[in-house]
Structure 1
Amino acid sequence: MYQIFISLIVASTLWLVSCQTNQNHLSEKEFTQRYKDSLMQREPDANYEIQEDLKIKVSEGKHDMTIYLDNAYRAYTLQPDSLASIFSDYLNSSISSLTKTELINKNSIVPVIKPFKYIEDVKSLDHGNTSLDSLIYYEPYNDELIIVYAEDTELNIRYLQKHIIDSLNIGLDTLRDFAFNNLRKILPDVEIINSGGKFGILAGGVYEASLILSKTMWNKENFSIDGDIVIAMPTRDMVYVTGSKNKQEINKLKSLALKDFENENYQVSPFLFRYNGSAFERFRD
């Protein structure tokens, strides 16, 4: 049995979408049932079992998986009026995860930045029934952040366990560089936007936070700032940059990071980080 820790969003047919329009906010129980109904309509040959709110066990042929809908439900609560577009965007991802085999394209493995809390969330979702290595592999990045590894496909992002990484004959000591090189090949050109003392980074809208792993990007040639490079990355696709001596922009970034972290999905951190010449560490002024 393999378990998928993907930010799966509920998917359904137009009938399910129309039923939700202008009605009361879905509870976790209702949300889970709608998700199960959606999958059953698209993949009727699979077996589905709601184990608890926001947790569904799915079996099809030799494949078993557990779908956790915590991030999905959060996305819905943040934008309840966008349920139709959420359904449309993520249905294929869900079905792809259900029918996927264990075969991994090693050249599609990319690094993903997560908060340390993500590990506790993974453990709690499994209720401590499985060893962490069997659930997901991670590396500490600093005191606040970790790196997990995922296979990026056209339809979804699948987070990997250690035994899968081991089977690919990629040394753990070279995994970070290997995955980041893969990422740079699939990302569009990185765009740096100057906004008068603060910069924004655009790189496709999914992996911006992973750019902290770059060994060549973080310098004064790319960012004309006052002091050391300081960044905020409240979510996976939001990265802001300013200088450590620019107190006005630092204060703005603190507020912006907290606001976006609390109100957006795919959270990374509400804190700021300073570049020390080789990595980012928690910024404390």
Structure 2
Amino acid sequence: MGGAERTARKRRQEQMRQQAAKPAAKPAARGVDKRTVGIIVAVVLLAAAVTGGIVWYQADKNKTEGQTIAAVAQGAPAWPERRDGLVVVSGKPEARVTLDVYADFLCPACGEFHKRFGKQIEEQVAAGTVLLRTHMIPMLSARSDPEGYSLDSANAGLCAADSGVFTPFHDSLFAAQPEEGKRAWDKAQLTALGRGVGISDPAFPACVEGGTYNQQLDAELTRVTEDPALHQEFPDGNKGFGTPTVTADGKPVSTSDPEWLTKLLSGAPAA
């Protein structure tokens, strides 16, 4: 082999070594569409927010599930109490003033009324000044989820009256009033409240579960809503029956004045 051939051969070998020593070429990077990435991130965040919102809503809507209604008192009150048809009568018959209160256990305005005036009224009942007649009207039975709490609680109130422990049961339901449009208290929870306020009557659970007074309460709802003597004027100018409605010795009373009860009693004749 001549010198020129050896030189050429060495050159080719050197070129081959240099080529082998070169790092493998990387594939060209694909360009990232920032707008697409942004859309994907937004969709993921929105989905997470929606899912979280649904979970929160369901939890809030059903927050009464598995809970116990707290009893605010136990045992029969210090004053006489009895059921008279669909009305619970509390106090002494010789009281100077007879108050009729029409309310719904789900009605927010009724809850506020009880919060503001319930204790004052009960103090006057205990003093023998007021005879209280409580009418539980199931106006909002379609406004709980599931429907029916207004009727179930009204019936349970009458069952509690039959067992001689109405006032603590009534006051406990208003103290733990569920929100309109959400899950309320079911029959098992109402029955448990009965035990909590001291009801030991074995007839009470069956009365609650069986809806003993349901048909009569539905009929009473129709009666009072059609009674013009119980109609009042609403802020929108319409007239009709609403809860709470209060009458004193058969005459409608406006409870917008915080001193309405004091003024009513100050003008009542002595016994």
The structure with the greater share of residues assigned to strand is: 1
TM-score interval, normalised by the smaller of the two chains? under 0.3
When you count helix as a share of all residues, which structure comes out higher?
A: 2
Larger Rg: 2
More relative contact order in 1 or in 2 (CA 8 Å, sep 6+)?
Answer: 2
Normalised to the residue count of structure 2, the TM-score between the two structures is 0.25
The TM-score, its normalising length taken from structure 1, stands at 0.24
